[in-house]
A and B are shown apart, each in its own frame.
Chain A
Amino acid sequence: MKRLFASLTLLITVGLVFSFACSSESEVIVVEKIVEVEKEVIKEVEVSSSPGKLIIYSGRKESLVGPIIEQFKEASGIEVKVKYGSTGEIAATLLEEGANSPADVFFAQDPGGLGAVANAGMFAKLSADILGLSPDWAQSSEGLWVGISGRARTLVYNTDQLDPSQMPSTLQGLTDSKWKGKIGWAPTNGSFQAMITAMRVIWGEEETKTWLQSIQANKPLVYSKNTPQVAAAADGEILIGLVNHYYLHRFLSEEGDEFAARNHHLKGGGPGSLVMVAGGGILSTATNSENAEKFFKFMLSTVSQQYFAGQTYEYPLVEGVKTNRILTPMEEINKPDIDMAQLEDLAGTQTMLRDLGILE
């Protein structure tokens, strides 16, 4: 027993030393970054003498948006508090809280989550100078929420067994029986459902239904979300997966270039090349509306947009900010002409998926 305790203590000590080593290293980097960015940031946000508070409910993970929210906090002096969760859970929490919600801002991963809160009448209209910062296609038609960063739908494919020339040019190509048992999809995923909503808008109900049925006939492997699909494509478990573009780049940064999967943007465009937005809105019950506005201005500033491009591999939405050079530039994606506001009808999409037995 003594030996066991001794070995446990040893393990813990090693762990402690190790993590201290790590933590100091990362702190140094963060500090450098803050110093470097702060000079620019001060121009973007006026710091008032009593900056006050801001409460954000974020359906975007801290691993993605934590650092940029931290920078906003540093730059503005505002006491920012964040509740993190997945978009669906956070939206449901907001709906349960109703008028009693302490939240000022809802920052969501996809238009569907924003739509649910907007439909419940819980968002206040955003001011024109915020709405003016992001393109029209990336916001709610009533000005209730605004897009902050872009995320493209794409196909991820296994590079050992497929060549880009063998890839289909539209989603219709996936209905070919040669892909039988070789496609992956994640019907429960919010982004996938947003793509189907776009499909209904662009192709119409009947054609969408036919496409879904043809894919079903090809016996796709069902995944719970995007991440395992990208891993499965690299392992050769599937040859093609229907995913969002940025997961691949996170795998690449951890596993290196030998990771056997790449993205393929459909040349023929259509719903398979949809660019969706992550974005947010200000709650009508917000007590810190002014700070909430500052937050959105900051998120749509050059500094933040550069952060999303560089750190989360997403597409910036503001003019003049460069896309990460490892991504296909937005101009080269044959993006369908559709407004995010048209993607709010998630319920209709879910009914269709359910009727076809794709969703539970």
Chain B
Amino acid sequence: MEVNSVLNKNRTSIFHGTYILLSTVRKGVGPLPISILIPCILISAAMMLPFVYLIMRTFGASDLAWQLLFRIKTLHTLFNTLVLIVAVVGVSILISLPMAWLTVRTDLPLRRLWSVLGALPIVIPSYVGAFLYITVFGPKALFQQLLEFAFGVERIPSFYGLPGAIIVLSLLSYPYIYLIVRASISNIDSSIEDSARSLGRSSFRTFLTVTLPILKPAIAAGALLVALYVISDFGAVSLMRYPTFTWSIYQQYQGAIDRSAAALLSTLLLLFSVVILYLEQKSRGRIKYHRSGAGIPKRLSLMRLGQWKWPALIFCVLVVSFSLLLPSSILVYWLVRGISNGETIVSVWSSGLNSIYVSGLTAVFAGLIAIPVAAFIVRFPGKVARLFESISYVGYALPGIVIGLSLVFFGVRYGGFLYQTIWILIFAYIVLFFPVAMGSVRSSFAQIRPSYEEAARGLGRSNMRVMYSVTLPLVRSGVIVAMALVFLITMKELTATLVLGPLGFKTLATEVWSFTSEAFFAKAAFPALLIILLSSIPTAFIMYKNRDLRL
């Protein structure tokens, strides 16, 4: 008891010992360098394009479109979307936190293998994933047949609707939180935990009271990405028959092609996302922690799991089985069944190369652009920074079709020879996925103490040189994770690719879509497996590299 109260009293001083309260260094970070401001303005301008497009379309809206918007059903759909977001974010955190912790900080057997496999579900497109889960868990599908064979179970509870949507979206999107939290955990200076423990706290309480607060920005950044992913997803919710807002928007395009009605709904969705962004910014609070110790934190000691080894292992096996192995096995099954029934499997190598090429370029550009923007947001906090940040999230919250069409509108009129080239497509990808890159880079910026940069500036270095020689090396791991994440999600992007891609341009995602939507499953299985296989290479690389990136 006594130890505890001493610890409580000393809590602030412990943080002062190793961590600095950012509020004390809020102001006085020096003038805003041009090298940061210009990229921020450019990216914000790019992000505003879909918004401008929506406003234009809204002005042309028919009475019918307005009637569509002002219905009880609209509120109902918004509520549905909100419920789904809360549930998916919750389940994703429950999956990803233990996964991240176990794979970074414990002596879990085959730790590196789980690290890589745990990240891969992010590359499975939701429309494929949902269909695969239906194949297994549908009311009369494989799982039920297995139960019937073993225990005589004739009917299993329906998987459709909210439960199915939660399960599918959580299993496919938890890696956003997992990857960002993982990077953050490996950056923790374990000496702070050691101090807490040496003052008598149990390991678990240390985790709750010391580690968790440090991880909070990373968790929030990941959770935001998951939330926005849920908002903009169409594939899973349509197959699971759970009506969300984005589904309503797609319906406008599928049928009557009433673009103004779709624009009105999208604008409302945008406002909804702004509220969520605001909540996330609030939750981050004023207090931020960054490491103040020397460049190299104390080497992390791996926690011995002891008797918890088996439960921990079972947890990882379960997560990986359901999120990755199960969908992949069905794909392999389709492939084998199709071939044995005489199907010919189409070669998709050129599409594979296209996928890698555009995803790679997008990843590099998005990662690099994220650096100045994240620097601005973290180093010059205030209203302007919050505005920049909110604007940069616009793309990710909007359905791909809206981003695609807005860039069709501007591209065909003002894009000149760039229209229908991969460059405008990459531009669209960046608008769509920039927040993913920023989330990761921002949380690694937040961990650097600004006094390093000040010290370097005090020694007479120019801003550019400080950025280059001090800041960049410190955020490198965050930038690499950002690039990896963007690469992985670009690999599966479909709608913008179809709408904006060059004529005849094919990626693995478009191949999968082309085959699945016409029920050619064997043919779809090969490119789908290739997406997973090709994505595992950069993922393995990141996981391997991360060991050396404890800056």
Contact with B along A50-71 (1 / 0, CB 8 A): 0000010000011110000000
Instruction: Give B34 Cβ to nearest chain A Cβ, in Å.
Output: 36
Chain A 68-111 interface residues, beta-carbon cutoff 8 Å to B: 81-86, 88-89, 91-93, 95-98, 100-102
Stretch in contact with the other chain, from B250-258, B282-290, B444-452 = B250-258
Q: Given known contacts A22-B526, A237-B140, A360-B243, is B257 in contact with A116 (CB within 8 Å)?
A: yes
In the assembled complex, the CB of A190 is this many whole angstroms from the nearest CB of chain B, namely 7
Interface residues of B in 138-153 (CB under 8 A from A): 138-141
Per the bound structure, the CA–CA distance linking A236 and B509 in Å amounts to 30
Which of B347, B498, B499, B518 lies in contact with A250, CB distance below 8 A? B518
CB of B248 within 8 A of CB of A91, answer: no
Q: Are A235 and B518 in contact (CB-based, < 8 A)?
A: no
Contacts of A26 in B (CB 8 A): 344-347
B498 touches A254 (CB 8 A): no
Task: Report which of B251, B501, B519, B536 forms a contact with A83, defined as CB distance below 8 A.
Answer: B501
Tell me, yes or no, whether A204 is within 8 Å of chain B by CB. Answer: no
Question: A1, B544: Cβ atoms under 8 Å?
Answer: yes
Among A15, A63, A91, A223, contact of B523 (Cβ-Cβ < 8 Å): A63
CB <8 Å contact, B519 and A251: yes
A53 and B207 CA atoms in complex are apart in Å by: 65
What are the interface flags for B226-253 relative to A under an 8 Å C-beta threshold, 1 for contact and 0 otherwise? Answer: 0000000000001101010001100101
- Within the complex, the shortest CB–CB distance from A254 to chain B, in Å, comes to 5
B258, B412, B510: most-surrounded residue (chain A CB, <10 A) = B412
The reply to whether A188 and B255 contact each other, CB–CB distance below 8 Å, is yes
* Pair B239/A19 contact, Cβ less than 8 Å: no
* A163 interface residue (CB < 8 Å to B): no
Q: Which one of A82, A116, A360 lies within 8 Å of B256 (CB-CB)?
A: A116
Contact segment of A4-12, A36-44, A321-329? A4-12
Count the A residues whose beta carbon is within 8 Å of the partner chain — how many?
72
Does any Cβ of A come within 8 Å of B215's Cβ? no
B537 proximity list for chain A (CB < 8 A): 8, 12
- What are some 17 contacts across the A-B interface (CB < 8 A)? A4-B112, A12-B537, A27-B347, A61-B513, A61-B514, A81-B504, A83-B420, A86-B254, A89-B401, A89-B499, A98-B412, A100-B413, A102-B419, A236-B140, A251-B519, A253-B343, A351-B64
Sample of 18 further A-B pairs with CB below 8 A, known A61-B518, A102-B412, A190-B254: A1-B544, A5-B540, A15-B533, A19-B345, A25-B344, A83-B504, A84-B514, A86-B517, A88-B255, A89-B253, A89-B498, A92-B405, A93-B408, A100-B413, A224-B238, A237-B140, A251-B519, A351-B64
Chain B positions within 8 Å of A, measured between CB atoms, are 64, 68, 73, 77, 112-113, 116, 131, 134-135, 138-141, 160, 238-239, 241, 243, 247-248, 251, 253-259, 334, 337-338, 341, 343-349, 401, 404-405, 408-409, 412-413, 419-420, 495, 498-499, 501, 503-504, 506, 510, 513-523, 526, 529-530, 533, 536-537, 540, 544
